[in-house]
Amino acid sequence: MKTRLTSFDGTESFNAECVRPDRYSRLFAELSSPRLLIPRGAGLTYCAASAGEGVVSIDARSFNRILEFDPATGYVTVEAGITLGDLYRFTVPRGWILPVMPGSPSITVGGCIAPNIHGKNQFKDGNFRAVTDELRLFHPDHGELICSPRESVDLFKLTVGGYGLTGFILSARLKLQRLEHSAFRLRRLKVASLSEAAEMMKELADKVQVLYSWHNLNGSQFGRGFVYAGDPIDSRTNHQELRYQELDAETRGNWKFPLFSRLVTRSSMAAYALNQRWAGEEVTVSLPQAFFPPVGKEFYFKLFGRAGLREYQVLIPHDQWPTAVDQLKQIIVSHSVPITLASLKIFRGRGGLIDFEGDGVCLTLDAPEGQMTRELFAHLDRWTEDVGAIVNISKDSRLQSSFLERIFPEFDSFRQQLATFDPKRRFDSALRMRLDV
Amino acid sequence: MSNDAKTAVIVGASSGVGRALAGALAAQGWKLVLSARDPRDLEAVAADLTLRWNAECFSLPVDLSNCEYSGAAFCEECVNAFGVIDALFYVAGAIDDHDDGSTDDETTRQLAEVNYVSAIKTLGAFAKRFEQRGRGTLVGFSSIAAAAPRRQNVVYASAKAGLETYLRGLRHRFADTPVLVQGYALGYVDTAMAYGKKLLLPAVSADAVADEVVRNLDRDIGIRYYPAYWRLITLTLRLLPWFIYKRLRF
């Protein structure tokens, strides 16, 4: 089907072809086509990782079956088109949970593997690679391949975080975590600054299961916010049923005009802060609320209108954080861009290649698309480089290879490994073209 | 799983409406014989239903486009798998992008086999079995294209019209007996057949079709249009004078 595909942030769109095979014979026929291909899940990656001009996007969502499950060990094998919401509905009643999940239940497992996403507490649970035990991959020039942390390790590392460029994931074996509770006690801890939040979160990181913060970076309230720390509890009043509205890039941009102006952003941030303060310091939340906090707030993405949003997600090493956070305030104040979301998480580990993984503080910023935002983000790029940070490639449609080569020591290694594995560039996307890999 | 769980045979269970129907029946505790061409798809569907619903599934790959396909032999294999069969759903269908009514012999034959010949072979074999047993439900799936054929999918539409006529005849034969014969003339459904096509009306999900079929299982509904508004639309189309009908692009 010839169609126009849009990145989730709404800033890129392409004349592309999308196919939706619903059985293996059709899938392999599509994958054997000489055309440029890219697997596609729900299309919820902020940048255009599953689409591109002249590229055939293969919608994987018909391949959403659960193939194996061991209730004793918690290993589950699924086709990569299964959504996290669907998987949640299967595992939770059986006493297991996938510990690393992004906020939207509409995202597919393939969509988690491709950017090697992180969840609610990366410090404790790692990125998605940490829960991926084995992958079955298909590449038209290599056939079916199995890779895991034990077998074809380089291909495994290249695929988890490889943005779908190594082939179509037929199935993934995932390691679930035992679910021994039925709800979360979410503490809402008031903080006066980003620094205070980071210090508090470093203390809490290995003690709680859910940990993130929210901050108002607009106006005189700069940095004020809340740290959310969730501990599992048993609750009689909990409900585990997950209900959500499907999210996709096309309906995200349904509203023509953006509603976030500086005034609206300031007022809504102030109102949200007030609401959180009144809501008290502690609340019991259901499992779906804890694992998928954005559910029920999907309208947030629509408020950016057709023009879309920009997200900047950066991982700042701990030793650079104090300097970085001071500079950050100056940069943001100097640009007068409405910041519609600011949040921190604590990270650890070492990813390699182009993974968004490491020891440090993760900062996420959202702003409406526009010239001023692009100028702010360009300024943030220089700041990122100065403080030795890395950015999340999946979140930002602006990022260019020249910048990424400087901040990711293994960027060139990623490029070379990909060229060695897929020299004919059978798999391609707007992201690959932009990154020049 | 209780021992008195009902058993269904779904022909065309690997994708679309057939797969959705398999899920809906598994959720209600039915035992299932799942049939389609590709064993790999069938294994995946069977594994999924077994894990999600603890459904007892038996996979039976079959090539319905093969002119040597035997409905009786297929029926025998199904009975051997579970002993008693309570319902047959023939959901399988095939279309061809070049089906303008003058396709090559082989394509025409395959379209006719899958959409009509193998369908009536299968329904006929199970009809005999259900008659002997004194009960059972036979369900066939037609299309709105049967009532309102157009320049595309000509062989497909004629085969579906034949199937619909066959189902009407079979229903008449089993009138006032516990054997039920049902048919669904489906409108636009969000499956591979409709994907990417410009449609006049929104496509319903395969799950919605499956829910409707399961809801009506014990009712003598005859041939039912789904969604129901298609009955009115196709009736209107049939009443249109030719000089208008021939100009329609739908």
Sheet bearing B87-90, strands edge to edge: B57-61, B31-36, B7-11, B87-90, B136-143, B179-186, B223-226
More confident residue, A276 or B213: B213
Average pLDDT over residues A171-189: 93
Q: What is the pLDDT of residue B3?
A: 52
Q: Do residue A22 and residue B15 have CB atoms under 8 angstroms apart?
A: yes
Q: Do residue A1 and residue B195 have CB atoms under 8 angstroms apart?
A: yes
Helix (H, G, I), strand (E, B) or coil at B138: strand
Nearest CA to CA, how far is B136 from chain A (Å)? 30
Q: In this predicted model, what pLDDT tens digit does every residue of B51-90 receive, in sequence order?
A: 999 999 999 999 999 999 999 999 999 999 999 999 999 9
Q: What is the pLDDT of residue B206?
A: 96
Q: In this predicted model, what pLDDT tens digit does every residue of A90-130 receive, in sequence order?
A: 999 999 999 999 989 999 999 999 999 999 889 999 999 99
**pLDDT surpassing 70 at residue A412:** yes
**pLDDT surpassing 60 at residue A362:** yes
Least CA distance to B17: which residue of chain A?
A22
Q: In this predicted model, what pLDDT tens digit does every residue of A56-99 receive, in sequence order?
A: 999 999 999 999 999 999 999 999 999 999 999 999 999 999 99
**pLDDT surpassing 90 at residue A293:** no
Helices (H), A121-248: 122-125, 153-159, 194-204
Average pLDDT over residues A172-184: 93
Q: Which of A179-183, A200-204, B46-50 has the lowest mean pLDDT?
A: A179-183
**pLDDT surpassing 90 at residue A294:** no
Q: Which residues of B touch A63 (CB under 8 A)?
A: 44
pLDDT > 70: what percent of chain B? 98
Q: What is the pLDDT of residue A237?
A: 61
Q: Do residue B52 and residue A24 have CB atoms under 8 angstroms apart?
A: no
Average pLDDT over residues A227-232: 93
Using CA of residue A194, residue A197, residue A203, residue A206, what is the dihedral sign? negative
Between positions 133 and 192 of B, the ones with CB within 8 A of A are 191-192
A427 phi/psi in degrees, rounded to 5:
-105, 130
Q: The tokens of B165 are what? A: 């006529």
Q: What is the pLDDT of residue A259?
A: 82
Q: Do residue A66 and residue B45 have CB atoms under 8 angstroms apart?
A: no
Please provide the average confidence, as pLDDT, over all residues in chain B.
Answer: 94
Q: CB of A100 within 8 A of CB of A349? A: no
Average pLDDT over residues A335-349: 95
Which amino acid would we find at residue A171?
A: S
Q: Do residue A20 and residue B195 have CB atoms under 8 angstroms apart?
A: yes
Between positions 31 and 50 of B, the ones with CB within 8 A of A are 36-38, 40-41, 44-45, 47-48
Q: Do residue A66 and residue B40 have CB atoms under 8 angstroms apart?
A: no
Q: Do residue A24 and residue B15 have CB atoms under 8 angstroms apart?
A: no
A91 phi/psi in degrees, rounded to 5:
-80, -40
Average pLDDT over residues A366-382: 96
Please provide the average confidence, as pLDDT, over all residues in chain A.
Answer: 93
Nearest CA to CA, how far is B110 from chain A (Å)? 17
Q: Do residue B15 and residue A23 have CB atoms under 8 angstroms apart?
A: yes
Task: Provide the pLDDT confidence category of residue B186 given band limits of 50, 70 and 90.
Answer: very high
ipTM of predicted complex: 0.92
Average pLDDT over residues A4-19: 91
Which residue in B247, B136, B115 sits closest to B186, CA to CA?
B115
Q: What is the DSSP letter of B113?
A: I
Asked if the peptide bond before residue B227 counts as cis, ω within 30 degrees of 0, the response is yes
pLDDT > 90: what percent of chain A? 78
B207 touches chain A (CB under 8 A): no
Nearest CA to CA, how far is B54 from chain A (Å)? 12
Residues of A with CB under 8 A from a CB of B: 1-3, 18-26, 62-63, 65-69, 79, 90
B194 touches chain A (CB under 8 A): no
Average pLDDT over residues B201-212: 94
Asked if the peptide bond before residue A409 counts as cis, ω within 30 degrees of 0, the response is no
Chain B interface mutation, best of A5, A23, A70, highest count of B Cβ atoms under 10 Å: A23
Task: Provide the pLDDT confidence category of residue B191 given band limits of 50, 70 and 90.
Answer: confident
**pLDDT surpassing 70 at residue A236:** no
Q: CB of A161 within 8 A of CB of A123? A: no
Q: Do residue A24 and residue B195 have CB atoms under 8 angstroms apart?
A: no
Average pLDDT over residues A188-212: 95
